[in-house]
Chain A
Amino acid sequence: MNLKKYTLLYASLSFLFSFGAFAQTISGIVESQDGPLPGATIQVKGTSIGTNTDFDGNFSIEANQGDVLIISFVGFNPQELTVNNQDTINVVLSISTELDEIVVIGFGSVSKREITGSVAVLSAKNIMKIPVAAVENAIQGQMPGVQVTEVSGEPGVGAQIRVRGVGSISGGNEPLYVIDGFPISKNVAMGVTGDNFRRGTGRFRPPPPNPLANINPGDIESIQVLKDASAAAIYGSRGSNGVVIITTKKGSENGEPSFSYNTYVGTQSVANKLDLMNAKQHNDLATDSANNFWVINQGGNASDPIASRGSSNGRIPTTISNWDGTDTDWQDEIFNSAMVQNHHLSASGGSEKAKYYVSGNFFDQGGIIEKTDFKRYSLRANINVDVSDNFRFGVNIAPSYTDSDKQPAGSPYFARPPGIVYAAQVHYPSIKPYNDDGTPNQLDNMSYQRDALNRGTLTTTSSNPLAIIQGVDDNLTQNRTFGNIFAEYDIIEGLSFKTYFGVDVNNYKRNFYRNSSLLYRNASSGETFGQSSSSESLNWVAEQTLNYEKQLSDDHKINVLLGYTAQAERVDINTVVADNYPDDLVQTISGGQLASGTALQEEWSLASSLARVNYGFQDRFLLSASFRADTSSRFGEGNKTGYFPAASIGYRLSEDISASWLNDLKLRASYGQTGNFLIPNYASVGLLSPADYSFGGSLQSGLGARTLGNSNLSWEKTQSVNIGIDFSFVNNRVYGSAEYFEANTSAALLEVPLPSSLGFQSSLSNIGEIVNKGFEFIISSRNSVGALKWRTDFNLSTINNEVTSLGGDNAPINSRGGAGIRHITEVGQPVGSYYGYVTDGVYMNQAEVDAGPDDTVATGGTPLPGFRRFKDLNGDGKITTADRQAIGNYIPDFYYGINNEFEYKNFNLSFLIQGVEGNELLNLTKRHLGNFSGNFNHYAYGDDRWRSESDPGSGINPIAMRAGNQNNRPSDALVDDASYIRLRNVTLAYNFPQNMLGNSIKSLRVYASGTNLFTLTDYVGYNPEVNNQEDNLLVQGEDYGSYPLQSTFTLGININF
């Protein structure tokens, strides 16, 4: 055959298959309501033929009759036009709104226009903007009602998510995560990490590993958060804390394979440093502190030489008395800059029958403290197949592996092992960090601060932070495979049956070794210790649902869902501990003497039935009602099954109001009941614990009841009301919503004290009551839509949390945190409020002391000038324990985020500002860094202290005195305002124009991005969001050492080809 024949054949075929397949040139203008749209894309559907409009919105393209042109522009609804025999096509694109977005609501999806409950949405384009380590970080500041708190900057450690406040005192407050239909919730009181590494108490456990850390944020299509009961009730006993629905990307229907490579490389450094004293300032403080102690407490003279002082608290070490000029910035010693890099390669595409999305990701975040790196390797394949017109199935599978090196960074200096950051903070600047041979200085450190006669001084011992890093090796790996398959069959038109089966296999392994080089505080030899722990969990879910959707007539639309689901999880945890390693050559358990070991298994199950009806009348009235029944192994024998009804209504006023400026206006209201099943797996059962007895040397195993059990134990119940308004004005250029909610939690779990004569002191019972209420507001505006596009999104949420009942006589719960009782949970206050005395500056002079109340709490007797002045709250003329009250809490008054995005030609600039207002922290670091005792380094504000009646300083800061002061008494002096406003992210991107890229590259975007660039706060610690005991709501908000956040600068490239 020759070329002619080919041409002929082609021409005939073309003729046969496409009418009028004569190429013609079509030109026109693409406009918005505001004028021409430069840069809009015109593409012939199903081909790679395309062009862009010029600066005046003009275009011209070659197309055949019958071809379909897709005209699109970011921020506008795309239009499809079939080419007839015209040669001019003028198009007016309308601004797209999120009302048209499809929102996944659990067992289904609806358009945002039809939503009647409270659902917050974040789509892929907003997730992609910021280079983030994990999913939660992408949400921060972007969703009203969803507070994301970065409690630690440690790589691999998750942020804390709280949806609409906290409703549980003894159970969990984490939301339910639903990842591609798979519900994942946390196991309470399981100790999955199972480690406390001889910290003395379990109170200083490292933060738990992030359950979402193994999900590549780049794979995520959208995140929805179901906030109110009507939306979340379909998840029944797991809905109270909100439901975070994460949907990953799917292949597109009709496209050629599309490859995309997203990568960024960045450098991180500590976001902020504490303002601590330098050597000169600290030497002065320590000297002052020793002298004041010696004079006031011991009756000596300030001029007495150190050698003659008979009390260590009156002596200063030679490093200070004979200061050699050393001025170490310990923070600089431990913080480094570190790399972060991310590589994400994906391919997606498909035919009408099959669609696929496959991707691979490597993420590597170095730690700003040595040996705290986090790496993630993940793969994903999402495949959907249409077998026939009425049968579809799909598979998602996502194996992942994470590997993190950990260090005891966020513990107090005295924990075991000691906290690195804290040890660096307390270390005197007058001490050299290293010996001459380059090893960490452990013999001249805080532990060996002696006077010239080699006697102890006012200094408190602490390990060298650099020695801690060198002395601890801790590695945590997680191996998780997450997968599901589903099949869907259309029985008749509108009625489909879906079956879904998912598994989550999640294994952890952790190896910890403390070598002999680390001297714990003043220890003269190292204490080797090894721990190896591993856990394996298998979580599966099976769901059967029937869905019926029908437009009954023009006026009536109905959707009915019925379902049955079953889920179960089993967790195995093993731990072995060894000590007395003869050397550091073998660091696994086998190298030491086996000291102890445990193996623990737990399981839970949940079987549920569910139903939901959505009804719409003329697009005007919307009604949704749902019901779920949950039967769980966690609930007591008498309360196995819980029922969770909910209903919501919506009225689209805009259907009845015709005004040109009004595009959409919807009123909605909902009411429903949800539960919180984050209670321990076996709390309803009476447990027995070993109670052996030796009958004259012959050991008989014994058992005795440890817990009473509670056969009526049940989920915590939340009844919530939500009222909202959704609006869209001025050609959809301003849109958003406002809502108010009130959620009443009852049957909150509390350890109720029992008469001891029952043989038990307490029993877990459902008796507490808590109310959360607040306003949420989100507004987006397209400030400018022409060549320069500018959009702004703003959201703000308020939260008001109050305990309304603690059962019985409402006796308040005083809770012991990291440093004694400093928290109270009482009726009328937020859960876990700080508790203590109220201060009113310091006594400026003796006359003020004389006029003040007696202090019966001080062991040293009456206060002195320069001492803190505690308020006599009950006015009985003396300071007693009755003068304590709630003095702040961790729960903010409101939090907000502002996102601005500018687009001009091919440039895109966005910045996200985010803030929290009205939250306080219990800053326990002030017990050491703010104690005015000189035994540690000190916050720099300590310079401005009371020195004498004639030099009283700011009136806030007390006298420096090593002992006998009342500086660490639980009081508001240690409670700090932690409100902040933060420039969370700035990103400048450039999209290369198509004509520069050639044929093989579809798009190319390069960007530079900065994260956590700037934070405005009065808080003196590192992180105004720290929460050392995240899992214990009763003592939330403690700052007792933390891994600071990072500032990150990244350069990134997104290529599609």
Chain B
Amino acid sequence: MKTKNILSIFILISFMSCSKEFTDLSPISERNTGSFYTSANDFEVALAGVYNTLLSQGVYNEAIWIMNDLRSDITFWDAGGLAAAIVRYDDFEETTIDYVGRDSWIAHYKGIGRANSVIGRIEDVEMDASQKTRIVGEAKFLRSLLYYNLATTFGNVPLVLNEATSADDDKENVQVPIAQIYSQIAADLTEAESSLPSTAKGGRATKGAAAALLGKVYLTQGDKTSAASALKRVSGYSLVDNYTDLWGVENEFNKESIFEVSYESGYGVLGNLYTSAMNTELGATVTSGSRNFPTKSLISSYEAGDTRFEASIAGIGSEVVGFASDGAGWCIKYGTTNPSTDNDGPNNWVVLRYADVLLMLAEALGESTESYGYINQVRARAGLGAISSSTAGTFAEKLLQERKVELAFEGHRWPDLKRFGVAASVMSSDPRAIDIRGRLNLAIPQREMDINPDFVQNPGY
């Protein structure tokens, strides 16, 4: 009997492990997609993960200002060594394998993927309805912003709207016409605008942000009527009194700010690299070096008495006239004090602000008294006199000039040049006389071309 008892204990122990749970083990020290996304809090956390991608080097931390400013006529950089890849973008000599384009593509889709997870998985989760609506609205706004960047940078890109759950989920990895991207953005932003609150703390997406981005997208598509209508819905914002007061950590989330990316020092992974990278004085003391210098073209674009010059550029002196060579200045919009650690700057990246909206509104309305009024609001704040239809130059030239100096270093220039249809001519008539070689859009990264042979490369590569 004893023998049997002992044996039965053994058998019992062994077969306890027989159940299915025995081999269904989830990670203990890392959260995983199988058990996450179940509560309202999970989605707030996941949503922060989407915002987080805006911080990355492939988005606002570096790629945006390389692709939109450095590549344009307003900034430049010459260097060798490891930095040579960045310089190639400045000179339209980049290759399809250079990292800025590749990493930008990767980072944007990473954010889109995270937004897709939020949007796709929240549907079946029980939670407060208004919270759910807001979370979806924010996620859709962020996805739209990322798609807007992709479309203006690369042109025809894949429109992925569903979370990938396996390596085989690549059905959406096909290039779609850019118009399809824009109409998806328009649909998403329209929904987001209706579901987002008018105001929100700490840089969360708002109604105004959705409307402003929607206006920008309509403008890009050439739908000026819809653009004007959307931009007029951007309310509750006004220009700050002094252009200088737009910059610096103390002025973040001011009354003019519509959407900004919130960087933070001290965590190591939430700070920016551009604060030290753009400011030569600071850059000299950090390993990353400085880059993205204002060109002669930009410096000479500031009219005499423009208060925006000294608020934007240092190292030139107050006399703009007579300045002869590139390189003797640097951007100071992103801080004048060094972050305590390399590449850990606290200064936010302003994506949308009211001055941009006013100028876009003028663009949407076309030449009219009303539109000159919007432009002159911006000029007046800069300490400049009003312009009108009698001022020299075409309306488009005057508008583009205003945008050039008002929004310098803020990642708007290249999409502006493309939207106004003057990218090639402006670049070739620049003092540096750059031939853009048909490269209005950046190359589809080689890595993506290799994986999907059906991808069509952009002209010029």
Beta-carbon nearest neighbor of A391 in chain B: B3
Residues B447 and A686 in contact, CB atoms below 8 Å apart: no
Residues B113 and A701 in contact, CB atoms below 8 Å apart: no
Residues A759 and B113 in contact, CB atoms below 8 Å apart: yes
B452 CB contacts on chain A under 8 angstroms: 755
Given A487-B6, A692-B52: A701 and B45 within 8 A (CB)? yes
* Among A169-177, A456-464, A597-605, A817-825, the stretch in contact with B: A597-605
Interface residue ranges of A674-695 to B (CB < 8 Å): 681-682, 685-689, 691-695
Residues A704 and B110 in contact, CB atoms below 8 Å apart: yes
Residues B30 and A758 in contact, CB atoms below 8 Å apart: no
A501 CB contacts on chain B under 8 angstroms: 10, 13-14
Does B295 lie at the interface of the complex (its beta carbon under 8 Å from any beta carbon of A)?
A: no
Beta-carbon nearest neighbor of A573 in chain B: B29
B78 to chain A, nearest CB (A): 19
Among A603, A696, A756, contact of B447 (Cβ-Cβ < 8 Å): A756
A632 CB contacts on chain B under 8 angstroms: 23
Given A599-B29, A633-B25, A694-B264: A757 and B46 within 8 A (CB)? no
Does B319 lie at the interface of the complex (its beta carbon under 8 Å from any beta carbon of A)?
A: no
A197 to chain B, nearest CB (A): 20
Interface residue ranges of B21-48 to A (CB < 8 Å): 22-34, 36, 44-48
* Among A343-351, A415-423, A643-651, A709-717, the stretch in contact with B: A709-717
Measured between alpha carbons, how far is A701 from B269 in the docked complex, in Å? 13
Does B117 lie at the interface of the complex (its beta carbon under 8 Å from any beta carbon of A)?
A: yes
Beta-carbon nearest neighbor of A390 in chain B: B3
Does A434 lie at the interface of the complex (its beta carbon under 8 Å from any beta carbon of B)?
A: no
A698 CB contacts on chain B under 8 angstroms: 201-202
Contact mask for chain B residues 3-24; partner A; CB cutoff 8 A; 1 contact, 0 none? 1001100110111011000111
B173 CB contacts on chain A under 8 angstroms: 755, 757-758
B73 to chain A, nearest CB (A): 30
* Among B122-130, B162-170, B223-231, B393-401, the stretch in contact with A: B162-170
Beta-carbon nearest neighbor of B105 in chain A: A756
Residues B31 and A695 in contact, CB atoms below 8 Å apart: no
Measured between alpha carbons, how far is A765 from B166 in the docked complex, in Å? 10
Chain A interface residue number, banded: 35 or more
Beta-carbon nearest neighbor of B116 in chain A: A759
Measured between alpha carbons, how far is A803 from B15 in the docked complex, in Å? 41
A705 CB contacts on chain B under 8 angstroms: 33, 113-114, 117
Residues A758 and B170 in contact, CB atoms below 8 Å apart: yes
Does A640 lie at the interface of the complex (its beta carbon under 8 Å from any beta carbon of B)?
A: yes
A759 CB contacts on chain B under 8 angstroms: 109-110, 112-114, 116, 160, 163-164
B418 to chain A, nearest CB (A): 22
Does B182 lie at the interface of the complex (its beta carbon under 8 Å from any beta carbon of A)?
A: no
Given A687-B30, A759-B113: A700 and B48 within 8 A (CB)? yes
Among B263, B269, B451, contact of A754 (Cβ-Cβ < 8 Å): B451
Chain B interface residue number, banded: 35 or more
Measured between alpha carbons, how far is A695 from B253 in the docked complex, in Å? 11
Measured between alpha carbons, how far is A681 from B26 in the docked complex, in Å? 9
Measured between alpha carbons, how far is A124 from B72 in the docked complex, in Å? 78
Measured between alpha carbons, how far is A685 from B25 in the docked complex, in Å? 10
Residues A686 and B32 in contact, CB atoms below 8 Å apart: yes
Does B106 lie at the interface of the complex (its beta carbon under 8 Å from any beta carbon of A)?
A: yes
B106 CB contacts on chain A under 8 angstroms: 756, 761
B113 to chain A, nearest CB (A): 2
Measured between alpha carbons, how far is A711 from B169 in the docked complex, in Å? 12
Does A544 lie at the interface of the complex (its beta carbon under 8 Å from any beta carbon of B)?
A: yes
Most buried by B among A393, A691, A708: A691
Does B203 lie at the interface of the complex (its beta carbon under 8 Å from any beta carbon of A)?
A: yes
Residues A607 and B17 in contact, CB atoms below 8 Å apart: yes
Measured between alpha carbons, how far is A696 from B50 in the docked complex, in Å? 16
Measured between alpha carbons, how far is A256 from B259 in the docked complex, in Å? 89
Does B262 lie at the interface of the complex (its beta carbon under 8 Å from any beta carbon of A)?
A: yes
B263 CB contacts on chain A under 8 angstroms: 694
Contact mask for chain B residues 46-74; partner A; CB cutoff 8 A; 1 contact, 0 none? 11111111010000000000000000000
B46 to chain A, nearest CB (A): 6
A640 CB contacts on chain B under 8 angstroms: 23
Contact mask for chain A residues 737-749; partner B; CB cutoff 8 A; 1 contact, 0 none? 0000000000000
Beta-carbon nearest neighbor of A601 in chain B: B28
Does A606 lie at the interface of the complex (its beta carbon under 8 Å from any beta carbon of B)?
A: yes
B23 CB contacts on chain A under 8 angstroms: 605-607, 631-633, 640
Does A8 lie at the interface of the complex (its beta carbon under 8 Å from any beta carbon of B)?
A: no
Measured between alpha carbons, how far is A603 from B27 in the docked complex, in Å? 8
Measured between alpha carbons, how far is A633 from B27 in the docked complex, in Å? 10
Given A633-B25, A687-B30, A694-B270: A753 and B49 within 8 A (CB)? no
Does A302 lie at the interface of the complex (its beta carbon under 8 Å from any beta carbon of B)?
A: no
Given A759-B109, A759-B112: A499 and B10 within 8 A (CB)? yes
Beta-carbon nearest neighbor of B42 in chain A: A703
Does A305 lie at the interface of the complex (its beta carbon under 8 Å from any beta carbon of B)?
A: no
Measured between alpha carbons, how far is A391 from B5 in the docked complex, in Å? 13
Measured between alpha carbons, how far is A599 from B30 in the docked complex, in Å? 11
Measured between alpha carbons, how far is A691 from B203 in the docked complex, in Å? 16
Measured between alpha carbons, how far is A440 from B117 in the docked complex, in Å? 59
Measured between alpha carbons, how far is A763 from B27 in the docked complex, in Å? 18
Measured between alpha carbons, how far is A757 from B113 in the docked complex, in Å? 8
Does B291 lie at the interface of the complex (its beta carbon under 8 Å from any beta carbon of A)?
A: no
A783 to chain B, nearest CB (A): 51
Residues B51 and A693 in contact, CB atoms below 8 Å apart: yes
A682 CB contacts on chain B under 8 angstroms: 26-27, 30, 32
Residues B26 and A685 in contact, CB atoms below 8 Å apart: yes
Residues A755 and B451 in contact, CB atoms below 8 Å apart: yes
B22 CB contacts on chain A under 8 angstroms: 566, 568, 605, 607, 633
Measured between alpha carbons, how far is A163 from B118 in the docked complex, in Å? 48
Does A335 lie at the interface of the complex (its beta carbon under 8 Å from any beta carbon of B)?
A: no
- A sample of 5 more A-B contacts (CB under 8 A), given A542-B10, A693-B48, A757-B160, is A605-B22, A698-B201, A701-B48, A753-B450, A758-B173
Residues of B within 8 A of A (CB): 3, 6-7, 10-11, 13-15, 17-18, 22-34, 36, 44-53, 55, 105-106, 109-110, 112-114, 116-117, 157-158, 160, 163-167, 169-170, 172-173, 201-204, 252-253, 262-264, 267, 269-270, 445, 447-448, 450-452
Return the 7 tightest CB-CB contacts between A and B, nearest first: A759-B113, A695-B202, A702-B48, A696-B202, A686-B33, A704-B49, A499-B10
Residues of A within 8 A of B (CB): 387-388, 391, 393, 487, 489, 497, 499, 501, 542-544, 564-566, 568, 599-607, 631-633, 640, 681-682, 685-689, 691-706, 708-712, 752-761, 763, 765, 811
Q: List 23 A-B contacts (CB under 8 A).
A: A391-B3, A499-B7, A499-B14, A544-B10, A564-B14, A568-B17, A602-B27, A607-B18, A631-B23, A682-B30, A686-B165, A688-B31, A688-B32, A692-B270, A693-B51, A695-B202, A703-B31, A752-B167, A754-B167, A755-B451, A757-B160, A759-B110, A759-B112
